[in-house]
Amino acid sequence: MSKETVKQDVRRYGAEIIHSPSFKKAMQQKHHYRSTVGEHSLRVTASSVRICHALEKLHVRTDKKSVVQGALCHDLGILGRHEKYKNNRVCCVQHPKDSVKTARELIPDLDQKTERIIRRHMWPLGGEMPRSREEIIVSTADKYASAKDVIYGIYEMARNTWQQLPGKHNKA
């Protein structure tokens, strides 16, 4: 599947979200060491759409609209996290609920399937276990993107530290 196919699905179902003031703020707030909330959400969305297409090849139907909207909105409640949450544990539990509130503002006819995708994406770190295939898709894509963000962030910090050591000439 091409990147263009993924982009078409994201545009078809998520253009209003991407062009919203909330998503523009998400593109400014740091998240997982190396990216922003918006960049992370776009990566989660792209991975989720790829999984949907792979499942379709196996004749397993998925609701791409709910997946795209849920993936794009899953972390929007985290905006302003340092002012809103006293620690990471509270953030893990509360931001999915806050993300649902934000999604309702962006999508007036938000359906229950999309709401559950957003509400359950943090399992097993917080909240309920995903039950539908769409919930599992977004939750799994979120864990994959988060792990990648953290690992690359740590790698970059280590590389920068290594390059600053006296007498080290890193050619990487």
Task: Report which DSSP code applies to 76.
Answer: G
Q: Report if residue 171 sits inside a domain.
A: no
Which residues, in sequence order, are CB contacts of 134 under 8 Å at separation 6+?
62, 63, 66, 67, 70, 113, 117
Q: What percent of the chain has pLDDT over 70?
A: 94
On whether residue 170 sits in a domain, the answer given is no
- Which CATH number characterizes residue 57's domain? 1.10.3210
pLDDT tens, residue by residue, 13-39:
999 999 999 999 999 998 877 789 999
Amino acid at 43: R
- The answer to whether position 169 is within a domain reads no
Asked if 10 and 45 touch (Cβ cutoff 8 Å), the reply is yes
Question: Average pLDDT for residues 107-117, to the nearest whole number?
Answer: 97
Q: Is residue 98 part of a domain?
A: yes
Mean pLDDT (the chain, rounded): 91
Q: Is the CA virtual torsion 38, 129, 68, 148 positive or negative? A: positive
Helix, strand, coil % (nearest 5) of the chain?
70, 0, 30
Is there a domain that residue 46 lies in? yes
Q: Is 30 helix (H, G, I), strand (E, B) or coil?
A: strand
Burial of 153 from C-beta contacts in 10 A (0-12 / 13-18 / 19+): middle
The predicted-structure confidence for 76-99, as pLDDT tens digits, reads as follows: 999 998 899 999 889 889 999 999
For residue 109, pLDDT over 80 is answered with yes
Domain boundaries, position 58:
3-164
The total of other beta-carbon atoms located within 10 Å of residue 164's CB is: 9
For residue 172, being part of any structural domain is answered with no
The domain tally of the chain equals 1
Averaged pLDDT for residues 109-118: 97
**Does residue 151 have a pLDDT over 90?**
no
pLDDT of residue 168: 58
Q: Is residue 155 part of a domain?
A: yes
> Is the confidence at residue 171, as pLDDT, over 60?
no
